[in-house]
Structure 1
Amino acid sequence: MGNGQSVNAAKRQSLRKLTDIISPVPADIDVAQRAVAVPIKTIAAACGLAEDDYEPYGRYKAKVSERVASRKTDTTSGQRGGYYVVVAGINPTPLGEGKSTTTIGLAQAMGAHLERPTVACIRQPSMGPTFGIKGGAAGGGYSQVIPMEEMNLHLTGDIHAIGAANNLLAAAVDTRVFHELTQKDEALFDRLCPKGKNGKRGAFAKSMRGRLERLGLGHKRDDADALTTEERAKFARLDIDRERISWRRVVDMNDRFLRKITIGQSDTEKGFTRETGFDITVASEIMAVLAMTTSMEDMERRLGAMVVAPDVRGNPVTADDLGVTGALLALMKDAIKPTLMQTLEGTPVLVHAGPFANIASGNSSVIADQIGLSMVGEGGFVLTEAGFGADIGLEKFMHLKCRSSGLKPHAAVIVATVRALKLHGGGPAVTPGKPLAEAYTREDVELVKKGVANLTRHVENTKKFGVPVVVALNVFPSDTAEEHEAIRAAAIAAGADDCVLCTHHAEGGKGATKLGEAVAAACEKNKDAKEFKLLYPDSMGIKEKISKIACELYRAKDVSFSEQAEEKIAMFTAQGFARLPICMAKTQYSFSHDANLKGAPSGFTLPIGDVRCSAGAGFIVPLVGAFPTIPGLPTRPAYYEIGVDTKTDRVVGLS
């Protein structure tokens, strides 16, 4: 059997339309555990992957080699493979509006029902929200990635690898400060570059050579003894400014009590204490590096470029200066490979990276998208999800991910719900764990009409990037036809190519076939993606870039910068980072900095409280207002529902 025949045979074995749908829809985990998954080798074969392109990780998951990303290239556009579609949403309620579910449902529709080669690319969920408020991120109802419990918990260990690498670097920073404070120059150099049995030091370790080059001492890399006394001190002393160390430790849990801590309180640390804090692991710059990287070599460069602090003279101190780049790469060497999984209807899914959109870059990896485009080939579709609302997730997809990868999207899907638009129209608060107010369960067309301004602004903003928009209206049982029509009319008036009702939660891919047809039509009208554009150039200054996003997309009238933010911007500009793009850290619940400002607010002043630099990932991070980078747990977290059936060893209670 030829390769083409083998691929087609594998597709016939893997793709299947759902036939045993139950109404009302059971709990997500019950739907997922009733499903019969196909062995991952069959899914891989259906994608045209050879056996040496992937490594099975159990029966239903596999790690795909990053080298697959560099394969098939469309010679006319220079873009690999098929059509590139980003799925984003309106500003959500705290319950979420089904964006992941829509991405998966659309993939099932296009793959199993419309028979178009399709790969979905989504982020790996953080366990913090899984045990907190939001629950998992494998989709829902009859549009899910399976095995969902494996995806929502440890998957293949990428987040653990990121946490280990991040905390190794944190330990390296504080330990280096400690040793420099307690040792003289010559003793410090002797320990960093010890003499061998022959009494000579020999060549510098490979991990030290980057620092040597930056100091202009690269010509002495093969003989550490050749350094003068002054050069030895210059090499050995990083002179990290302890008061401005920016690298923080991480944990993959919602733990509010780690937001501010004091370290070094043991007697063995000789009184060298300092205040710091934890971030959630998915907010680590190493997660952002993973999401942005294009190869192992690129990841090594990015990891080495990460800035941990300035020195006492204001120069950036990097992971490479600490000599830890190689160790970080060793911890991350398997994490660079996306995890191949499947939907309930056998469509392939690449799960990779998981940066939050509100406090980080908010998109799955460039490598996963490139691999997906290679797998689907010309005429196929890669559906890549952007986190939270289009004001942050889609904006970062355009300005960070596409700027870095050079890929151009052919279409964007904006997911909306009647529920969220009622909230934006002035409806009562939506609180996890509490029953919805009556306004959300009965018809109120006027409330919907007041709230559609949120949707129309997202449509208008997306079109500013030169990308056609299809609105996916995720249908809930309490919706009415009149409410749907009000939303559809507003979406079309705002410039959307189409607004399609979707019932994929209840029906699987069948419920998103019309959405699939609309997306295909939008892509085919935009084959060359010629109109795609970014809203600011690299050459624009940091403050000007922030203002461009705030005023043009959020509709702020002005931006205010705290004294700390002004100082950081001046420092990053002096350090040569002004050309980096912007990654706003902001609430996902509003266009503004205030989560309570619903709808489409304008005329406000956006406050920038602090600014960070992710030099390895390649962007500047302004923190809008006071913004925690590790979530807390609610009064009744999701973990109350989660457990294991000890008779079957199956996880229960995940959603």
Structure 2
Amino acid sequence: MTTTKKLTDLQIASQAEMKLITEIAESAQIPLDAIEQYGRYKAKIDTTKISGSALGKVVLVTATSPTPAGEGKSTITVGLSDALKQLDQKVIVALREPSLGPVMGVKGGATGGGYSQVVPMEEINLHFTGDLHAITSANNALAALIDNHIHQGNELQIDPRRIIWKRVLDINDRSLRNIVVGLGGPMQGVPREDGFDITVASEIMAIFCLATSLENLKERLANIVIGYTYMKEPVFVRDLKVEGALTLLLKDAFKPNLVQTIEGTPALIHGGPFANIAHGCNSIIATQTARNLADIVVTEAGFGADLGAEKFMNIKARQGGFAPDAVVVVTTIRALKMHGGVTKTNLSEENVEALINGIPNLEKHIQTIREFGIEPVVALNRFVTDSEAELITILNWAHANNVRISRTNVWEEGGKGGLELAQQVLEILEEPQNFAPLYKTTDSIEEKINAVVQRVYGGEGVQFTDQAKKQMAQIEQFDWDDLPICMAKTQYSLSDNPKQLGRPQGFTIIVREVIPKLGAGFLVCLTGDIMTMPGLPKEPAALRMDVTEDGQALGLF
């Protein structure tokens, strides 16, 4: 079980004996002429030079609703891949790239933990190969080109009041949510209201992760709606004729990144959309590349099954043309006790009653995966504070409800601590599944939203604001309604109220906006008080970070 940390994640990662990236490429049967090295331990992959066609099976790792206690989804994802490798499986792990927002804020990185990490951890969590910077640059280049077009005569008759394209920054900065640009006189542009989103919530990030080729990337960029004319007609990137320039800025970033786990399992890390705002999955091109090279691809989707997993099923799998072959739901006794009413400071105390009260949250996420026609396995991430009575309680519950469950200890033991889970996953991969998305794209917008709210969240229904109703009418007017939906919702609750933990009942989801993202190929539905530009906490993680005189990072988890 996970013990009190003697070493930090950063210290463990810095002591790892990494293999040269050329060795990792060779182990994954990637031709050396297909990799572009970024130093000794990172590389880009030219997917046009990959000839493999294994079409490996996809294992999706999701979790219960996140709590401050931590669930360890990325840690389990990495540990499971290492365990499968120990069982002589040809496996690649495919993850998202970390955003500097959580890294410098509160959540932390996205490289796993303990002895189940991808490395070089420090570089991956900071600037990595520059992909997020390229996406930021492309996004803001488009914003600059829009404002320049208006300043230079506005041939397209873009209404400055109806521009929906925002600038982005890959850091949490609440002060930039609402701004005014173009102040200072005629030579400084046309004054208008604007705002910033975080980079990982941008449509270009979503496009980057859903595009299947460089040509498809350019086509999707051309389809972005940037705003509307004075006559309320949509304006697209193709009208500005800048999709080629944006693709040029992204062409190198679009190549998947190859790194390794501490145990030397090949890892593809590419793209990083948030799951509470965007669709929360790594790039299709990285997942498909991994499928072409390995028999099993272990990947994750952000936050709980109500967010990342739902979007993996309804958006990524649909657009990528593949289905998950197995699903792992990660949870901890600590997290379930928080859902049962225990505060973070009291989690070390045995509390079977609170655990029982929190299990319904796990039960709902299992039910959600079953709604998609897949039978999941629960990965119980062990902690030293878990009592025997608590452990017996959850194992008995799983047995009584025909739920597969596996105790894991990958933080402390690496792949060895996930062998039982790996065996169960292999059993599931031999069984037929009946995967199907929850709705047809031809269903009405309201029907699609209700399908998610009722079958995934467990809510009673949906209430639309007047603004959302107007936007839905406009979307239907332009025949854009034949698209999947991407719900933007708090990650902390199945409802849109972050304070309602556990398994709330009888709630209604408030949809305040419905925004067309035609390049990404979905409609974003903003619910509750969800923000597309987060803020920093009172004591951000950045306060604990430093660097030594010889360049060694300190305080990075």
TM, length-normalised to structure 1 = 0.83
1:544 to partner: Cα distance: 1.4
Stretches of structure 1 lacking an aligned partner (at least 5 in a row): 1-20, 74-79, 182-236, 429-435
Q: Percent same amino acid among aligned pairs?
A: 44
The alignment partner of 2:487 has SS state of: coil
When the two chains are superposed, the root-mean-square deviation of aligned CA atoms in Å is 1.6
Instruction: Give the equivalent residue in structure 1 for 2:556.
Output: 654
Spell out, residue by residue over 1:540-593, the C-alpha distance to the aligned partner (whole angstroms, 9 max, x if none). 011211111111211211211111111111111112210110000000001100
| Contact 1:410/1:468 (8 A) holds in 2 | no
How many residues are aligned here? 556
Paired residues for 1:250-329 under 5 Å: 250-269=168-187, 272-329=190-247
Which AA in structure 1 matches 2:7? Answer: P
Instruction: Give the equivalent residue in structure 1 for 2:342.
Output: 427
Q: Does 1:64 align with 2:45?
A: yes
Query: Cα gap change, 1:26/1:468 in structure 2, threshold over 3 Å: closer, same or farther?
Result: same
Q: Does 1:437 align with 2:379?
A: no
Which AA in structure 2 matches 1:91? Answer: S
Instruction: Give the Cα separation in 2 of the matches to 1:315 and 1:484.
Output: 60
| Contact 2:464/2:512 (8 A) holds in 1 | yes
Which AA in structure 2 matches 1:158? Answer: D
Instruction: Give the Cα separation in 2 of the matches to 1:598 and 1:578.
Output: 32
The alignment partner of 1:35 has SS state of: coil
Paired residues for 1:637-648 under 5 Å: 637-646=540-549, 648=550
Which AA in structure 1 matches 2:516? Answer: C
Instruction: Give the equivalent residue in structure 1 for 2:354.
Output: 447
Spell out, residue by residue over 1:309-334, the C-alpha distance to the aligned partner (whole angstroms, 9 max, x if none). 12233322111111110000000001
Q: Select which of 137, 143, 156 maps to 2:116.
A: 143
Larger-gyration structure (1/2): 1
Q: Select which of 302, 321, 339 maps to 1:387.
A: 302
1:245 to partner: Cα distance: 0.9
| Contact 2:147/2:190 (8 A) holds in 1 | no
The alignment partner of 1:629 has SS state of: coil
Instruction: Give the equivalent residue in structure 2 for 1:575.
Output: 478
Q: Does 1:412 align with 2:412?
A: no
1:82 to partner: Cα distance: 2.0
The alignment partner of 2:140 has SS state of: helix
1:472 to partner: Cα distance: 0.3
Q: Select which of 435, 438, 447 maps to 1:535.
A: 438
Stretches of structure 2 lacking an aligned partner (at least 5 in a row): none
Instruction: Give the Cα separation in 2 of the matches to 1:273 and 1:562.
Output: 28
| Contact 2:3/2:383 (8 A) holds in 1 | no
Instruction: Give the Cα separation in 2 of the matches to 1:22 and 1:353.
Output: 32
The alignment partner of 1:321 has SS state of: helix
Q: Does 1:470 align with 2:371?
A: no
Which AA in structure 2 matches 1:92? Answer: P
Query: Cα gap change, 1:22/1:360 in structure 2, threshold over 3 Å: closer, same or farther?
Result: closer
1:95 to partner: Cα distance: 4.9
Q: Select which of 546, 556, 575 maps to 2:459.
A: 556
Query: Cα gap change, 1:297/1:39 in structure 2, threshold over 3 Å: closer, same or farther?
Result: same
The alignment partner of 1:437 has SS state of: helix
Which AA in structure 2 matches 1:584? Answer: M
Spell out, residue by residue over 1:250-306, the C-alpha distance to the aligned partner (whole angstroms, 9 max, x if none). 001111101111111122446831112100111111100011011111111111111
Which AA in structure 2 matches 1:110? Answer: L
Query: Cα gap change, 1:23/1:453 in structure 2, threshold over 3 Å: closer, same or farther?
Result: closer
Q: Does 1:42 align with 2:10?
A: no
Instruction: Give the Cα separation in 2 of the matches to 1:446 and 1:598.
Output: 16
Which AA in structure 2 matches 1:93? Answer: T
The alignment partner of 2:248 has SS state of: helix
| Contact 1:460/1:494 (8 A) holds in 2 | no
- Point out 4+ residue stretches in structure 1 off by more than 4 angstroms: 21-24, 492-495
1:362 to partner: Cα distance: 0.4
Instruction: Give the equivalent residue in structure 1 for 2:487.
Output: 584
| Contact 1:143/1:504 (8 A) holds in 2 | yes
Q: Select which of 417, 421, 424 maps to 1:518.
A: 424
Instruction: Give the Cα separation in 1 of the matches to 2:203 and 2:6.
Output: 39
Which one has a larger percent strand, Structure 1 or Structure 2? Answer: 2
Instruction: Give the Cα separation in 1 of the matches to 2:384 and 2:501.
Output: 24
Q: Select which of 379, 388, 399 maps to 1:481.
A: 388
Which AA in structure 2 matches 1:450? Answer: N
Instruction: Give the equivalent residue in structure 1 for 2:83.
Output: 109
1:492 to partner: Cα distance: 4.4
Query: Cα gap change, 1:384/1:50 in structure 2, threshold over 3 Å: closer, same or farther?
Result: same
Instruction: Give the Cα separation in 1 of the matches to 2:292 and 2:49.
Output: 7
Which AA in structure 2 matches 1:348? Answer: P
1:22 to partner: Cα distance: 10
Q: Select which of 143, 153, 156 maps to 1:180.
A: 153
1:23 to partner: Cα distance: 7.6
The alignment partner of 1:356 has SS state of: coil
Instruction: Give the equivalent residue in structure 2 for 1:490.
Output: 397
